């Protein structure tokens, strides 16, 4: 996908707007005037060398609201008050949030209010309303699982939907609809699920493809999941340049977690022999291969993995390659800030320019935070470099 500058013909960044509905009804103007800030966050569960496992890819929202009625001299959103808004933000209510600019906003989240946090200080009393993607109700049990054969993500989605969740096997036990045209263009990969909630894992796989994962309902009332491209999320690779469209960017290069080879070892009980597979850079993983200084720094360093189940040498080699590439993705990470871009989401890519040859390149966005408040609309993001940009950005 060709990178595009953020200031394209016909696109403007004036008049930031947000829209909120509760149980399908738009917030009244009186409530909107009380909203001090709106924040949306998303992420892709981290699988890099620094990942602790069990990452949660569910997106979230937070609204900070003025909670003081100056005329009545009482708390405006107190559950037991006589205010017409007293129960408006009760936990459990479903919410949709859109953010963007006048005549150009995007649906960010369909969620559910999960917590309220009043703030009583010497200043104005406020109320923080927080919630998660409505998919959070499917978080029941974390699993570790490997697919021994290469699979397409859409195939995994259907398989998880067909399976019932058990203590030792992931599953959702509900229909998952996919886009067949998109499935045919997906690559087959060796996929490993590392101590994750089943729904969070599936949402992570969706974001890696630039897909959406929606909970929908049929006219009969039956709920089902849709896994595939969405008209509501625009997949775009932004070109951001420091000093122009990139307000700030802080990259970090580290060799502390880098290795030259990864070896996965297991045991074949039937034949009483060792199962082994080894992956090396650059032969088996070419991510960030332009960082020659890093490659020299880790020469001879090896990682041996013995706690992952494998059934044959081919499976061990695939797992070793996957682990090695996860290490290589951690060579350079960066955090940045730019003007509010509702399409800059976790799972998309950005091309960073203006930082010099070492840090210029194509970055995968691992998380994004979108905030609209009295200062306007801004987007901050975390990312990892996965190689130089085409054309030498």
Structural domains in the chain plus CATH codes:
4-133 (2.40.10), 139-228 (3.55.50.10), 261-328 (no CATH)
What pLDDT score was predicted for residue 72?
A: 77
What's the pLDDT at 260? 86
d(CA 296, CA 289): 11
Q: What angle do CA 264, 156, 325 make, to 5 degrees?
A: 35
> How far apart (Å, rounded) are the C-alpha atoms in residues 115 and 112?
9
CB environment 353-370: b (16+ within 10 A), e (fewer): bebeeebbbbbbbbbbbb
Which of 43, 32, 100, 5 has the alpha carbon at shortest distance from 376?
100
Residue 8 is predicted with a pLDDT of 64
Radius of gyration, alpha carbons of the chain: 23
Q: What pLDDT is recorded for position 81?
A: 60
- d(CA 184, CA 154) in angstroms, rounded, equals 9
The torsion angle over the Cα atoms of residues 158, 161, 165 and 169, rounded to 10 degrees, is 0
SS3 label, residue 88: coil
d(CA 157, CA 160): 5
Q: How are beta strands 176-178 and 261-268 bridged, if at all?
A: unpaired
Confidence (pLDDT) at 82: 62
Query: Is the separation of the CB atoms in 168 and 160 below 8 Å?
Result: no
Instruction: Kindly state the helix (H) or strand (E) to which residue 371 belongs, with its residue range.
Output: strand 361-373
pLDDT (tens digit, 9 = 90+) per residue, 361-383?
A: 999 999 999 999 999 999 999 99
Q: What distance in Å separates the CA atoms of residue 351 and residue 1, rounded to the nearest whole number? A: 11
Q: How far is the C-alpha of 147 from the C-alpha of 189, rounded, in Å?
A: 9
Question: Can you list the residues of the chain whose pLDDT is less than 70?
Answer: 1, 7-11, 45-56, 79-83, 231-233, 292, 295, 390-393
Please report the pLDDT score of residue 55 as a whole number: 45
């Amino acid at each position: 996908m060709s990178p595009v500058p953020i200031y394209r013909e016909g696109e403007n960044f004036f008049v930031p707007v947000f829209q909120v509905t509760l149980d399908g009804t738009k917030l009244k103007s009186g409530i909107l005037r009380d909203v001090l800030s709106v924040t949306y966050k998303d992420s892709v569960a981290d699988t890099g060398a620094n990942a602790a496992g069990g990452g949660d890819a569910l997106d979230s929202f937070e609204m900070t609201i003025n909670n003081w009625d100056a005329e009545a001299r009482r708390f405006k959103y107190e559950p037991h008050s006589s205010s017409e808004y007293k129960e408006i933000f009760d936990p459990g209510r479903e919410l949709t949030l859109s953010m963007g600019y006048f005549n150009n906003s995007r649906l960010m989240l369909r969620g559910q209010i999960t917590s309220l946090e009043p703030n009583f200080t010497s200043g104005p009393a406020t109320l923080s309303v927080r919630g998660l993607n409505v998919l959070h109700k499917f978080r029941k049990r974390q699993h570790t699982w490997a697919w021994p054969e290469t699979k397409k993500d859409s195939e995994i989605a259907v398989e998880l939907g067909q399976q019932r969740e058990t203590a030792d096997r992931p599953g959702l036990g509900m229909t998952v609809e996919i886009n067949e045209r998109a499935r045919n263009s997906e690559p087959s990969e060796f996929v490993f699920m590392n101590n994750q909630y089943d729904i969070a894992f599936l949402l992570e796989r969706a974001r890696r493809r630039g897909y959406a994962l929606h909970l929908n309902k049929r006219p009969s009332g039956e709920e089902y999941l849709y896994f595939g491209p969405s008209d509501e999320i625009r997949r775009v690779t932004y070109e951001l340049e420091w000093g122009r469209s990139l307000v700030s960017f802080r990259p970090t290069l580290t060799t502390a977690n880098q290795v030259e080879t990864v070896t996965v070892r297991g045991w074949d009980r039937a034949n009483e022999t060792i199962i082994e597979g080894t992956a090396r850079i650059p032969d088996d993983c070419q991510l960030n291969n332009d960082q020659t200084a890093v490659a020299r720094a880790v020469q001879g360093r090896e990682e041996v993995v013995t706690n992952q189940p494998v059934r044959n040498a081919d499976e061990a080699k695939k797992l070793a390659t996957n682990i090695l590439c996860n290490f290589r993705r951690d060579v350079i990470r960066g955090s940045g800030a730019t003007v509010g871009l509702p399409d800059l989401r976790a799972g998309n890519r950005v091309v960073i320019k203006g930082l010099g040859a070492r840090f210029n390149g194509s970055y995968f966005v691992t998380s994004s935070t979108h905030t609209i408040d009295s200062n306007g609309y801004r987007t901050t993001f975390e990312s990892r470099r996965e190689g130089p940009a085409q054309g030498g950005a």
